[in-house]
Amino acid sequence: MLGPQGQPYATHMPTERLTASITQPHPDDSRLRLLALLHSPSASGSDTTICRIASHLAALGHSLVRVPDPADPAELARLARKHGADALIGTHAFFSGRSFRGSGLPYVLVLGGTDVNEFAHDPECLEIMTRAVSEATAIVAFNEDFMQRCLRVWPLAEGKLYHIPQGVRTRPSDFSLRGHAQLPPDALIFLLPSGLRPVKDPLFLLSSISQWHRDDRRINLVIAGLAYEPSYHELTLRRIGSAAGVHYVGALAQHDLHAAMREAVAVLNTSLSECSPNAVLEAMDLGCPVMVRDIPGNTCLVRHEVTGLVFGTADDFGVQARRLLADRQFARKIARQGQEFVARAHRLDSERAGYAAVVSLLAGRLRHRSPCPQQAERRPS
């Protein structure tokens, strides 16, 4: 949702707007000591998100410590005491929920794509997430689609679910993907930032692009991302090794990935499910055309032929990609409109204001907390 001047704002479900008086920290609000959990390796989307949120909270005057997720409530309680934490924040209802539940501290959950897309279908994971959602002070979703899907799984989240669109920050380095991957000067690079996981489906376009490369040696697919599962990693590398024109460069530092995007004719997303992919927004911010698979997490960001291109099949991708290369004026148009969309709807200052509001809720919860440990259990608001 956008405010009256086209700016995004933090939206409290079901329809109430957070007014200006609470989207900025109140002068009397105490500054909090927050503990933020890290679940994923550096260069992952989750790591990018929690680090960006952490920078917002630090800029608002809060003290924040990032720690690896211990996946154990007792160990988290020890870390919280060690760092004098007042409250907790973490991405993913499942991963953070394992450690947050029963902590006795108020906390914010930032929903991840796997929470609703994958873990909600596993009874054991769902039980953990449901308890985490019920005890959370606030829950953040990045887009309207995910908010509605969250409410279908957890109706009890209504009243504390907030829409805060992701902010985007890009700072390209002087890295050269063409040089790193040893590609010729005339190479046309399709860049796929993707972890090597089945849900990301990095092999989806392998055959299509490999055949295209045989017809036109300039065409190349470069996959950049972390390897999560050893067996799938090995399978992926074998498939890539036998595919002409396809290259895997491993995980790139964020600034290097941004530089690589500027060398690409298009940045791709082939995932089977997403929430709000950072790399798509970053590519749009850099003025690079994006081509995404037709799934809700992508199409809530990319409007076909307006801010990017959407494909449903590998053959469909081939048609759209050839059009992009043949009509450079069209390519520049959708790249420009994508860049304008990000500047309008995914501003860092709006994201910061949203988290300022949510942390104000934490501060309020702490001010009204009972000093008696047996009364510390939180109830849904």
SS (H, E, C) 305-373: CCCEEEECCHHHHHHHHHHHHHCHHHHHHHHHHHHHHHHHHCCHHHHHHHHHHHHHHHHHHHHCCCCCH
Q: Residue 21's pLDDT is what?
A: 28
Q: Residue 263's pLDDT is what?
A: 98
124-166 pLDDT, tens digit per residue, is 999 999 999 999 999 999 988 889 989 999 999 999 999 999 9
Contacts of 364 (CB under 8 A, 6+ apart): none
Q: Residue 58's pLDDT is what?
A: 87
pTM of the model: 0.85
The helix/strand/coil state of 202 is coil
| C-beta separation of 307 from 331 below 8 A | no
d(CA 186, CA 209): 17
199-252 pLDDT, tens digit per residue, is 999 999 999 999 999 999 999 999 999 988 889 999 999 999 999 999 999 999
Q: Give the percent of the chain with pLDDT over 90.
A: 65
Please give the distance of CA 108 from its chain centroid, rounded to a whole number: 16
List residues bridging with 227 in a β-sheet.
Answer: 196
Q: Count the Cβ atoms, other than its own, within 10 Å of residue 34.
A: 26
Ranges of residues in the chain with a pLDDT under 50 are 1-29, 370-381
Domain ranges of the chain: 11-167+347-375, 177-345
What residue spans of the chain are helical by DSSP H? Answer: 20-23, 45-59, 73-83, 93-100, 113-117, 123-135, 144-153, 177-180, 206-215, 230-241, 254-263, 278-285, 296-299, 314-326, 328-345, 348-367
d(CA 297, CA 157): 20
Same fold, 11-167+347-375 and 177-345: yes
Ramachandran assignment for 273, one of left (phi > 0), alpha (psi -120 to 50 degrees), beta (any other): beta
Topology, domain 11-167+347-375: Rossmann fold (3.40.50)
Q: Does domain 177-345 match CATH 3.40.50.2000?
A: yes
In one letter, which amino acid is 210? S
The helix/strand/coil state of 210 is helix
- Go through 4-23 and write b for each residue having 16 or more CB atoms within 10 A of its CB, e for each that does not: eeeebbbbbbeeeebeeebb
